Structure 1
Amino acid sequence: MVINTNIGAGRTSRLLAESTSKLNGALQRLASGSKIVEPQDDAAGLAVATKFNAAISRNDAVQNNLSSALSYSQTQDGFLQKVSKALDRMSELMTLSSDATKSTNDKTNYLTEFTDLKNYVSDIGEKDFNGVSLFNGTSLGVTMDSDANKWSLNASALNGTDLASILASGFVVTSTLATMTTAIENVSTHRAKIGANIQRLQLTNEQVGILNENLSASVSRISDVDVATESTRFAKYNILVQSGTAMLAQANLLPQNALRLLS
């Protein structure tokens, strides 16, 4: 029995400090909802989770780009739908004007409507989306994934040869009716291409969304705390801290037994 050194109290103090540290760690994990509060909790897991979170952020940006490209293509199709309708009516007016029973006044009225529609189609050819031309045939690079791989999305070339001929021509049935038919076919072809673009953009957007879901699930498995498991640990270390505190108090009383031998 010694007085200067209390081995039991020292060991009990060390064990109490360990239990207190683990109790604080459990408290922090439950409060934050994360298993990795500090880097030393899971250094490798933290590195992987950080990389995945960065990929998720990039994919979010990719989805924003895809949504903008989708809106761009849908705007193109909306305008071309109106162009197709206008060309159909212009073709109809040409046919009506070729009727020999129509008076000069009737044909003048047809010409007025035809000219208005021609100007309408011409104006659409100059439309843009957020300052980017819709119909000048320019190739636009659309980012398709988080590795910055791009796909070329072409602005539909509305002012093609046949359509330009229609816009430049007068109201002459014999010289423009066949060309009008070709122009209508050209617009239909452009709409088909735009429809394919829209389909690809939608599928790619869904694909990136699925990738983000899987990345988020992986981050959750690495980082998110299991409340049931952590609550069990908290209860365990809470009891150990309380019992350790009580035992340390008892250990500190042991040297007093030496006084009894001296009395």
Structure 2
Amino acid sequence: MIINHNMNAMNSHRQMVGNTANAGKSMEKLSSGLRINRAGDDAAGLAISEKMRGQIRGLDQGSRNAQDSISMIQTAEGSLNETHSILQRMRELSVQSSNDTNNSTDRSAIQEEVNQLANEIDRIGNTTEFNTKKLLNGDVVGVNADKKGTAVINNNTSIKTINVTAAVTTAVGANSSLNGAVTVTLVSRAASGTGTYDIRDTDGTAVAAAEFADVGSSFSLSSGLTGATGGFIATADMSQMKVGESLTIVFNKHVAATNDTSKSITAQIGANSGQTMQIGINDMRGEALGIKDSAGIALSVLDKYAANSAISTIQNAIENVSAERSKLGSIQNRFEHTISNLGTASENLQSSESRIRDVDMAKEMMNFSKNNILSQAAQAMLSQANQQPQGVLQLLR
């Protein structure tokens, strides 16, 4: 029997300290709800879970970014809705002015309203913004595929054939710098069959008084109408045209392809670098839509020929606005799918992170109870071990 070293007491004390420390760790986990409270709890798990946390927060912010982008698109689309309404009214006024029951005074009043409506389209295009970023003035055109200028011919069904040659179409696509329309109206037909035509450009200005042969005729419009060197040349069989009938060639401006994203709006829709979407919105002001010339003068409805030309010009502008709204709607739908996808990814990643980081409360409560009981048992055994050396006193009696 020895008394200098009470090995039983030392062992009981060591076990008690360990059980108390384990009970303390269990209590910490139960208090925080986390299995990993410090790196020492699970070094590898901590590193993995922190990387997952970064992804989760990035995905959640990407979802919010997409929602902000939808709000921006809705702002632009809402303004274009009003532009649509204005263009419809302008078309209505053009149809009204085309009727010869109106005199010059009536048409002047109609022209004044057309001018104001065209100015309002410009104002909407110049002032529509989201978070101080202008949307409809061409500042955020950004990335575009090569949009060839097109010539769409609107004509009376009595005209048998209309031919715009491939070479002409290519010239328009490569060189056209203006939007608008040119309208050719048959004014009279001589006994010989030769027709006299009134030609009006985008803003209703008479181009030239010209005589054309009826079958297989060709006519050249000045280069100023399209911005193409040599002008626009088309051939048409006009033998079936009746006096007052028109042939309208509607031009759409050529937009060269570009990969320049400096002007487009970049939406960060992912957790990592490069996970973006580019948003471009075309210029939706008067000149870009073809209802104003480069000098800012609105198309004319001051006579029946100009008004007739304006109908097709405005109709083309309506279709361009419709195409832009359709594009914005498609982007909005894409963002909505993106938000749904990001939410699913975030949820599943959060589930994985939870399995690494969060504590199983029931299991940890079991461990806490075990460690608490062992700690109390160790205290009791330490007390018993401390009593054992006193047995040596019996030898002194």
- Fold shared, TM-score > 0.5 on shorter chain: yes
Q: Which SS does the other structure have where 1:225 is aligned?
A: coil
For the pair 1:238 / 2:372, whether they are aligned, the reply is yes
Cα drift, residue 201 of structure 1: 1.3
For the pair 1:168 / 2:169, whether they are aligned, the reply is no
| Closer, same or farther: CA 168–201 of 1 in aligned 2, 3 Å | farther
Task: Structure 2: state its 5+ residue gaps.
Answer: 142-262, 302-306
Cα distance between partner residues in 1 of 2:13 and 2:73: 70
Relative to the length of structure 1, the TM-score reads: 0.93
Q: Which SS does the other structure have where 1:125 is aligned?
A: helix
Q: Which SS does the other structure have where 1:151 is aligned?
A: strand
For the pair 1:227 / 2:361, whether they are aligned, the reply is yes
1:70 aligns with 70
2:111 aligns with 111
Cα distance between partner residues in 2 of 1:262 and 1:219: 67
1:181 aligns with 315
1:29-178, aligned counterparts within 5 Å?
29-102=29-102, 106-126=106-126, 127-135=128-136, 136=138, 137=141, 138-149=263-274, 150-159=276-285, 163-166=289-292, 168-172=297-301, 173-178=307-312
Cα distance between partner residues in 2 of 1:160 and 1:67: 30
2:38 maps to a residue whose letter is E
2:267 maps to a residue whose letter is V
TM-align CA RMSD: 1.8
Contact 1:9 1:248 in 2 (8 A): yes
1:133 maps to a residue whose letter is K
2:146 aligns with none
- Listed one character per residue, the Cα deviations across residues 190-241 of structure 1 (whole Å, up to 9, x for unaligned) are 1111111111111112211211111111111111111111111111111111
1:99 maps to a residue whose letter is N
Q: Which has the higher strand share?
A: 2
Q: Which has the higher helix share?
A: 1
Match of 1:200 among 315, 334, 341: 334
Q: Which SS does the other structure have where 1:165 is aligned?
A: coil
Cα drift, residue 104 of structure 1: 5.0
Cα distance between partner residues in 1 of 2:39 and 2:288: 66
2:325 maps to a residue whose letter is R
Cα drift, residue 124 of structure 1: 1.2
Cα distance between partner residues in 2 of 1:177 and 1:30: 76
2:135 maps to a residue whose letter is L
Cα drift, residue 131 of structure 1: 2.1
| Closer, same or farther: CA 22–201 of 1 in aligned 2, 3 Å | same
Greater CA drift, 182-191 or 158-167: 158-167
Cα distance between partner residues in 1 of 2:85 and 2:299: 19
Contact 1:87 1:184 in 2 (8 A): yes
1:10 aligns with 10
Question: Between the two proteins, what is the percent identity of the paired residues?
Answer: 35
Cα drift, residue 155 of structure 1: 2.2
Cα drift, residue 153 of structure 1: 0.8
Cα drift, residue 161 of structure 1: 5.6
Cα distance between partner residues in 2 of 1:170 and 1:141: 36
Cα distance between partner residues in 2 of 1:176 and 1:194: 27
Cα distance between partner residues in 1 of 2:288 and 2:317: 5
Contact 1:13 1:248 in 2 (8 A): yes
Cα distance between partner residues in 2 of 1:111 and 1:169: 9
Q: Which SS does the other structure have where 1:102 is aligned?
A: coil
1:184 maps to a residue whose letter is I
Contact 2:115 2:298 in 1 (8 A): no
Greater relative CO (CA pairs within 8 A, separation 6+): 1
